[in-house]
Structure 1
Amino acid sequence: MGDRMTPIPFKDLMEWIIEEYKNHGKIFGVNKFYKKQDDKVLEIFGEKIETPFGPAAGPHTQLAQNIITAYVCGCRFFELKTVQTLDGEDLPVSKPCIKAEDEGYNVEWSTELRVEEAYEEYVKAWVILKLLSKELNLGSDDGFVFNMSVGYDFKGISSSKIDNFILGLKDVSNSSIWKECMEYTLRNLDKFNNIDKDYVSNISPKVSSSITLSTLHGCPSQEIERIAEYLIKEKGLNTYIKCNPTLLGYDFARKTLDAMGYDYISFDDHHFKNDLQYEDAVPMFKRLETLAEENGLSFGVKLTNTFPVYIKNNELPGEEMYMSGKSLYLLTIALASKLSKDFDGQLKISYSGGADAFNIEDIFETGIWPITMATTLLKIGGYKRCVQIAEKLRKLDYSNKVFIDNEKLMGLKEKSLKDIHHLKDIKPRGSRKINSKVPLVDCFIASCEKGCPINQDIPEYISLVEEGKHLEALKVIVEKNPLPFITGTICSHACMSKCTRNFSDESVHIRNIKLQAAEKGYESLMREMKETPKSNVKAAIIGGGTTGIAAAYFLAREGINVTIFEKRSSLGGIVSHVIPEFRIPSERIHKDIELLQSLGVEVKLNSEQKSIDDLKRQGYKYILVAIGAWKPGKLELEGEKVINAIEFLEKLKSKNPALNLGKNVVVVGGGNTAMDAARAAKRTPGVENVYLVYRRTKRYMPAHEEELKLALEDGVEFKELLSPIKYSQGILNCEVMKLGEPDESGRRMPVPQGKWVEVPADLVISAVGEKIEEKLFIENNIDIDNQGRAVVDKNTLETSVERVYAAGDGLYGPSTVVDGIAQAAKFARAVVLEEMHRDLNINVQKSLKNIDNIENKRGVLEMGYLGEREVGRCLQCSTVCEACVDVCPNRANLSIKVKGNKMHQIIHVDRMCNECGNCETFCPYSSAPYREKFTLFSTEGDFQDSKNDGFIVVNKHEFIVKVRLEDKVLEVKLKENHTMLPKDIENILWTVMKDYSYVI
């Protein structure tokens, strides 16, 4: 196994396509095709183009199968991957070379094939597109355009190697690969339904009449102009010059990226100083425009090349990588606007820089086209994303697209500054990966479930809601989650951070769907709720917050007699008494409490239990301490007294007494409680300004991103990098900070700057972290740590006192509701195991969903909560994952349907992989599928060189294969009955040999 791809011969490509389409309705794994439905076309380089977009020069135009897959999904403009004299094994490409988790990065530059091999790939692709357009009625046989791309200096581009490539693609009729393609097709006309000899004979051998010039950073303007003149005058090519974003200048690029949240991207000004300068570029482009016109050709610019940045955190090997995708979008639009203005809208611009389904219409409507893309196709959905893009473009007006509308382009530039599709999230996105290795078989997994502390069966209840079965969905939820209304409203939704759609657009709004199930299924559920017969075993729970409620629910359902002792006048803890009504209405909290009470749990309000021994004397065998974190954190501040956030919110919610906050309120802190306090203050009559003061920036605040955004939307003004020192006479004095090196938590340390800022403050609210009231633990001889938290057995949560347990905020400090539910379940599980010698009764029936329906959703991008239609955005990853299939540009990971197994299985095709690493980025496991999935090898040498579990076909006709499993190599004959292989592996081998033999 190496990091080099092996091109597939034309015959094998055609037989793969024909057999896969005939037997499975797919082409290279794609089952979603775009078929042209009208006669609308544009013209470029004297050629027709049906949809003016396609893959940029890069991983999606390196191999024939890549171009073919892009075509069937709707692409009609193909910027072929750049060729240069340094090629093949002589070209050093560090691996992995791609990382496209959010914005994109790569360390590659031109094709990894030999130039001669690249030439053959493009010819094969050209012919196959001609055949498929007719055979499958996908569009006109002359409705697509191939655009060459070459680099990087005059010497190389004028060399015989590149000259043969250019002339060869201008007319391929004398090439051996052209003859091979024609001969095979004519010999196999019986395999087609809509293709005859005349059609094949009339396929044009003129593959490309245009070229895009790519030069290295630092290439002098004279060299660039010399190459362009050569391509126009000597080679007669319509010529585009690829421009670098460095034309905008360092200050503009740095300021823009910082403003859009990309302040962590590291680069300096050396490329900006050494690259082509704007004042040199404009007159050069005008001269070349005139030259092209004199030669009856087109001239334009390609905007933009990728952006060079430094590698800081081992994102990819090396010292420098190239940035692309959404972070490049505004820079590219800004450069387009600047250039187009200087050319009065008459400069032809080919676009590439963060284009995707969200902005494709805006770009095209300015008059900029063709539009190419790479980063978006490297994400979940992959090539299938092109179908949606093609359909969007088809609905637009193709007329009057000769000149660029500078006014629209300027408007798009302004819009882009605030467009959420291109802004970076405020806080770093959490990893989707789970801490386990991808299995060889049945690797499909819903990462949302693994991200949830209680492993809620999320795809299951979402599919039930989609079917309108809200009661059934709610039953699934309450098996593990007795607080569906509270978690459906204010859950921290760790599940959503793991959702696969984060790599497409945004997470499914799982929490909203849970609430939808709760609201629509609640009354029916309550009619079915019955009290479980109780045993003589009694359990006491000290604390009636959400953790205590959950623990009581689980025990009562199992038949344990439970009593909750709550010192306040109602259950619900922090959620009921502190969290503002605008965040969670009291009615929803009451419904969860009613669900608990339906099980016959005894609740003693206004009852503060301080003695564990007293409870034991009353016959309580098991005791859970589930007290909240109500003790105020200490804000080190000189001067006047401040109010604690918990106290403030509790008083505000109780409205007794009414608070007069003044005009200016300052909240000190950066957690969720600080956001609640700030938003609540903002809603209070008389308050004009609410300032949130924090020592670091928003990126390093502990609050969840959602809470930060809601505070900003409510008008809370964030005062970042300020450390409060003194509060006196309506002024909060703060020292200015700057971010230094990261501390142990990974957050950058605030460093004092010796400068001071005054913030007006009629009231200062301290939200610097609530603490545990450890007094109860101390008085009852329960061991605590140096932070006052109970010391417990991590498996059972039992404290140092026998059969006394601790959970919730009193265990780990302020935590989330769902974390408390997880701890409540752990406690209940320990009790049930000891008393009943079994696990908790949790009954959720899993079922696999319709795979075809799920696959059709992939690649469709949508953002914004869709209400009742939101359920349709769920990709049901527990049935279909296939992330590694989607994101592989080369189609090296295949999904196969194995007889007797409802789940599709994944095999990796070694010869099609160049170890770019993209599948590793998107696999939900902590694994690299190209190294760890069951691999099909093509040669004995490849098999021997690899450590992958996998196989090679020794004799296709006699079904003899050589298999490696866990470092053991076996040669088996599949026709024989044997027990040498695991049955699931044997089934995969049979399936490949019989149903997918075209991949061998």
Structure 2
Amino acid sequence: MSDIMRPIPFSQLMNWIIEEHKTQGAIFGVRKMVTTNQEGALPIFDERIETPFGPAAGPNTQLAQNIVASYVAGSRFFELKTVQVMDGEELSKCVNKPCIVAQDECYNCEWSTELEVPQAFAEYVKAWFACHLIAREYGLGSPDGFVFNMSVGYDLEGIKSPKVDAYIEGMKDASGSDVWNECRAWALANLDKFEHVDAAFVESIPARVSNSITESTLHGCPPAEIERIATYLITEKGLNTYIKCNPTLLGYEFARQRLNELGFDYIVFDDTHFREDLQWADAVPMFERLIALCAERGLEFGVKLTNTFPVDVTRNELPSTEMYMSGRSLFSLTIEAARRIAEQFDGKLRISYSGGATVYNIRALYDAGIWPVTLATDVLKPGGYERFSQMAGEFTDLDGKPFAGVSLEAVTAIQTDSLTNPLYKKPLRPLPDRKVAGKSPLSDCFTTPCRTSCPIQQDIPAYLAAVDEGRYEDALNIIIERNALPFITGTICPHPCGRACERAFYEPEGAQIRASKLKAAREAMTAVLPKLRAQAIANDGERNVAVIGGGPAGLATAFFLTRAGVPVTIFEARDSLGGVVRHVIPEFRIASDDISHDAELCLAFGAKVQLNARVESIDELKAQGFTDVVVATGAWMPGSAGLGEDAELDVLEFLEAAKRGEKLELGEDVVVIGAGNTAMDAARVAKRLAGVKNVRLVYRRTKKQMPADEEELDLALADGVEFCELLAPKALNGAVLTCDVMELGEPDASGRRSPVATGETVELSATTVICAVGEGIDASLYDAAGVEHDRRGRLAATSTGVEGVWAAGDCRRGPATVVEAIADAAEVARAIAGVDFNKYADCNEQAGREDTCYERKGSLCRDKRNCTKTRCLGCGSVCEVCCDVCPNRANVAIKVPGLAKHQVVHVDGMCNECGNCAVFCPYQEGRPYKDKLTLFWSEQDMENSENEGFLAVDEDHFKVRVAGTVRTVSVDAVNTGLPEAVRLTIRAVRDNYPYLLKK
């Protein structure tokens, strides 16, 4: 059954490790195995750690394979998942599934191991033994270079219970346990599987698995109980003891204000836990007493900062009412707690850190004296355990020196940085939905979210690979197959591809898609353009097309059609080509030369141009012999804010005049009404004009709901534009604009909150009001030709319903994007001339070499200036994100002879349905733990699951369920009734991955 984890025997664990390492050079999917610096190992708890970090008590330390995966990736400090008296099935019933959402900040609603306590003990012993064996066998580090740290909760009575007490004593000395004897016996009986492990080494593995413990307490635990537990662990159990502190130690007002400042104002919580949790006034004297107590007994005492943060479920994040927050939203709170502790105790109290640590800050934490550092959220994201591998690279220079105190100055610097560093701030906008439609298929679940989200289906992986290899001419040829305007889209495209990019889960900007397009265009234009001109095809004689409008839609239409041999004449009302991009968008956003390059490119195949040629009638063009007329006139009609024609300056008129260099006198106070990209342009242009002191942007919703691209919002803010949210313009009297004060009403069915007037008004100084709302379409051409449109002049499709009349761009959609205009142009070209844009489609799946894709997994860009590559993950070649993010390694990618791509097999017994793989699966309805071909270990588990999957019956036969039908087949037979991909996958498991089959 999928939500019940089945611990695997030590023999299978080790066979898996040895066989996967031998055949694939990986261990539990981790290819970037780390060899640590043994000489620099740091002393702690009279033990040593070769790196000062590892997985936190949580999903990444609940099973033996999780700990092994962390170890081979470079972790050397393991905070084992918390055990408590309530365990197993009793606890599992209290944990709603799915229980983890780590898309940005992380939320979870599980808190301790779902195994029974004896099972958890066995997992930790197996991991301890396995890590010693592989440390020696593969030379990954010293076998005594890592530490296991216990975590127990949540009250003294439970900790004293027989099973938790047995757990603690067993971890202190596991030599008498059944699991220890199981591990020892297997190792001694299988010495022939090793080159560097002998019997003497096996016998030397210490049975003291852990001599340290972290006390984890539930919210509301009284201070006296916390101290009693710690005292018991120190005096009765003789353990080095840390107390895990909750962020509530900071106080409600501070936490609320800090999260609001950083953009996490949508996270809901009240002051309940802050009132009921440990208070600072109680914590300080308690810590002082416990420090003294440990000193008397020669033990270490410290604090663990911090626990997760309890918040309310308000957006259906998880199927519970309360959940626990972690990740970057917790960083600034946790580092402030560290600063206060360092200040209070003069840096002498040891701090173990967990709360938003990543490769970006982990070295700074260590240098400040804060270590060990444990992580959960970061390694639950794409890249998974291999994010540890990169962190290990930050610690190749350790000097082996013991803890020497926490530097208040250094911690204060980190805390100060956390207030302004974008790493810890929520963007103005909610994160985009990086999903493609549908559910993940049973096999061959490969997709390219960037390409799927692009309106023109740009062959992005293919051209990124070419750019990375320096093949700029190839890259530009790939780009212009579908994109006629590489300079313009390489500069001002809102790049929905980048928002959908899986790499954006690593860094906010994702792969360098737009920048790479522009780089290819600039590097290769001079080489490509002459060759295009030489490829011009003679006119086919059947079609002759007139394009009305020389903006992006018209230029792209001309490019695609003339490339196919269709003659095109562009009729442009102005004196130059480029449309809104040429005449309206300011020079500081896109250079005129870049626009000219695209115009030149679009005319390469011989399109004719008539400038200063305003077309009044489609019928007149048809009378001149044009078989088809494409209307691409843009959306130039002024919108209105309802203040009166004389009160408002049209935004397009203003921007066009500014770009022509006209002298504009707007006065000191300019108000721009609207919040789209054009409004941002207007505000930024106004800010640069002589005599203007204040530019205010008025919008009836909030900044988070503004339709402009976030980068345009950021640029406007950086230029000093003042954003006036929740204001609706009402009347302009002289130089005073009266606005209604709005508030957001209750969410509708879609969750959207509409603004409603509060009855209050405010007045703003306004010497000029620029209206940047609702640019309209001049529908006179449509009306004269009998083309039906909606009340705003928009058409449902590029085909107008009138023979030989087409529409593309803003004059079809209303104000839209350049890339959407190109999409319309491509659709017109398909309809008129049957143009096929799939020349490079197959290149996308071959764009990322397998070794390159694996090399990039888990590695974040530490220095943006020196990250010269696109960092494309090659999703079309190697996705496997569900394998990356599974803490239990329950999703396994395997090579299947006869199939081109790796296939993902879901191992039912290793999954507890945490749901993390569904969060990051590129498919909208993707749930790999439900959708992928599932390997079952028992008849009972198969019957209790609805997953399509298989169960080994004997060496040749498997019980298989596909499409609701269950059959027992030999996968060597051809006519099994199974889909061939399923048959081949099962056979590959049997033949090449037998360690997946539980014996």
Normalised to the residue count of structure 1, the TM-score between the two structures is 0.96
- Residue equivalent to 1:5: 5
Letter in 1 for 2:41: V
Q: 2:823, 2:690 → 1: CA distance?
A: 39
Structure 1 residue matching 2:659: 3-state secondary structure? helix
Moved more, 858-867 or 605-614: 858-867
* Kept in 1: contact 2:151–2:215 (CA 8 A): yes
- Residue equivalent to 2:691: 686
Shift of 1:866: 4.5
Once the two structures are superposed, the pairs formed by residues 774-789 of structure 1 within 5 Å of their partners are 774-789=779-794
Structure 1 residue matching 2:969: 3-state secondary structure? strand
1:981 aligns with 2:978: yes
Cα 1:314–1:743, aligned 2, differ >3 Å: closer, same or farther? closer
Shift of 1:558: 1.5
- Residue equivalent to 1:215: 217
Q: 1:572, 1:864 → 2: CA distance?
A: 37
* Kept in 1: contact 2:544–2:625 (CA 8 A): yes
Q: 1:62, 1:867 → 2: CA distance?
A: 38
- Residue equivalent to 1:938: 937
Letter in 2 for 1:414: T
Cα deviation, 1:954-999, whole Å, max 9, x if unaligned, reads 112xx21122221122222234443533332222122111111111
- Residue equivalent to 2:963: 966
* Kept in 2: contact 1:951–1:964 (CA 8 A): yes
1:585 aligns with 2:583: no
Once the two structures are superposed, the pairs formed by residues 490-639 of structure 1 within 5 Å of their partners are 490-506=492-508, 507-529=510-532, 530-536=535-541, 537-637=543-643
Structure 2 residue matching 1:308: 3-state secondary structure? strand
Moved more, 936-945 or 753-762: 753-762
Shift of 1:848: 4.9
Normalised to the residue count of structure 2, the TM-score between the two structures is 0.97
1:234 aligns with 2:236: yes
Letter in 1 for 2:102: A
Q: 2:666, 2:653 → 1: CA distance?
A: 14
Cα 1:745–1:931, aligned 2, differ >3 Å: closer, same or farther? closer
Shift of 1:867: 7.2
Cα deviation, 1:801-837, whole Å, max 9, x if unaligned, reads 222122211122100000111111111111124xxxx
Shift of 1:868: 7.8
1:110 aligns with 2:124: no
Structure 2 residue matching 1:252: 3-state secondary structure? helix
* Kept in 2: contact 1:568–1:607 (CA 8 A): yes
Structure 1 residue matching 2:209: 3-state secondary structure? coil
* Kept in 2: contact 1:513–1:870 (CA 8 A): no
- Residue equivalent to 2:906: 908
Moved more, 110-119 or 405-414: 405-414
Letter in 1 for 2:515: N
1:648 aligns with 2:654: yes
* Kept in 1: contact 2:970–2:976 (CA 8 A): no
- Residue equivalent to 1:489: 491
* Kept in 2: contact 1:640–1:728 (CA 8 A): no
Letter in 1 for 2:812: L
Structure 2 residue matching 1:51: 3-state secondary structure? coil
Shift of 1:141: 0.9
Moved more, 913-922 or 717-726: 717-726
Structure 2 residue matching 1:727: 3-state secondary structure? strand
Letter in 1 for 2:200: D
Letter in 1 for 2:781: L
Structure 1 residue matching 2:568: 3-state secondary structure? strand
Cα deviation, 1:211-249, whole Å, max 9, x if unaligned, reads 111111111111111111111111111111111111111
* Kept in 2: contact 1:479–1:844 (CA 8 A): no
Shift of 1:53: 0.6
- Residue equivalent to 2:754: 749
Structure 1 residue matching 2:330: 3-state secondary structure? helix
Moved more, 81-90 or 634-643: 634-643
Shift of 1:682: 2.0
Structure 1 residue matching 2:953: 3-state secondary structure? strand
Q: 1:895, 1:915 → 2: CA distance?
A: 18
* Kept in 1: contact 2:585–2:681 (CA 8 A): yes
Letter in 2 for 1:325: G
Once the two structures are superposed, the pairs formed by residues 111-130 of structure 1 within 5 Å of their partners are 111-130=113-132
Cα deviation, 1:441-497, whole Å, max 9, x if unaligned, reads 221211100110111010100101111111111111111111111111111100000
1:315 aligns with 2:312: no
Shift of 1:769: 2.5
* Kept in 2: contact 1:558–1:841 (CA 8 A): no
Cα 1:39–1:689, aligned 2, differ >3 Å: closer, same or farther? same
Q: 1:480, 1:95 → 2: CA distance?
A: 43
Q: 2:863, 2:456 → 1: CA distance?
A: 26
Moved more, 287-296 or 669-678: 287-296
Q: Percent identity over the alignment?
A: 53
Letter in 1 for 2:516: I
Once the two structures are superposed, the pairs formed by residues 770-919 of structure 1 within 5 Å of their partners are 770-790=775-795, 792=796, 794=797, 797-833=798-834, 839=836, 842-846=839-843, 847-862=846-861, 865-866=864-865, 869-871=868-870, 873-919=871-917
* Kept in 1: contact 2:794–2:812 (CA 8 A): yes
Shift of 1:929: 0.5
Q: 1:860, 1:302 → 2: CA distance?
A: 27
- Residue equivalent to 1:53: 53
* Kept in 2: contact 1:626–1:810 (CA 8 A): yes
Gaps of 5+ in 2: none
* Kept in 1: contact 2:43–2:402 (CA 8 A): no
Cα deviation, 1:164-215, whole Å, max 9, x if unaligned, reads 1101101101111111111110111111111111111111000111111111
Gaps of 5+ in 1: none
Once the two structures are superposed, the pairs formed by residues 316-335 of structure 1 within 5 Å of their partners are 316-335=318-337
Cα 1:585–1:452, aligned 2, differ >3 Å: closer, same or farther? same
Shift of 1:644: 1.6
Q: 1:396, 1:203 → 2: CA distance?
A: 25
- Residue equivalent to 2:343: 341
- Residue equivalent to 1:78: 78
Match of 1:740 among 738, 745, 764: 745
* Kept in 1: contact 2:861–2:867 (CA 8 A): no
Shift of 1:403: 0.7
Cα 1:7–1:744, aligned 2, differ >3 Å: closer, same or farther? closer
Shift of 1:750: 2.8
Structure 1 residue matching 2:782: 3-state secondary structure? helix
Cα 1:158–1:868, aligned 2, differ >3 Å: closer, same or farther? closer
Q: 1:259, 1:774 → 2: CA distance?
A: 47
Letter in 1 for 2:665: N
Cα 1:224–1:865, aligned 2, differ >3 Å: closer, same or farther? closer
Structure 1 residue matching 2:546: 3-state secondary structure? strand
Letter in 2 for 1:234: E
Structure 1 residue matching 2:40: 3-state secondary structure? coil
- Residue equivalent to 2:702: 697
Match of 2:989 among 973, 988, 992: 992
Letter in 2 for 1:611: S
Q: 2:911, 2:881 → 1: CA distance?
A: 16
Structure 1 residue matching 2:242: 3-state secondary structure? strand
- Residue equivalent to 1:196: 198
Cα deviation, 1:320-367, whole Å, max 9, x if unaligned, reads 111000000000011111122111111111110000111111211211
1:243 aligns with 2:245: yes
Cα deviation, 1:653-672, whole Å, max 9, x if unaligned, reads 011x3212333322221110
* Kept in 2: contact 1:640–1:727 (CA 8 A): no
Match of 1:422 among 404, 421, 424: 424
* Kept in 1: contact 2:56–2:376 (CA 8 A): yes
Letter in 2 for 1:528: K
Shift of 1:776: 2.4
Structure 1 residue matching 2:166: 3-state secondary structure? helix
1:461 aligns with 2:478: no
Q: 1:463, 1:122 → 2: CA distance?
A: 43
Shift of 1:607: 1.2
* Kept in 2: contact 1:639–1:726 (CA 8 A): no
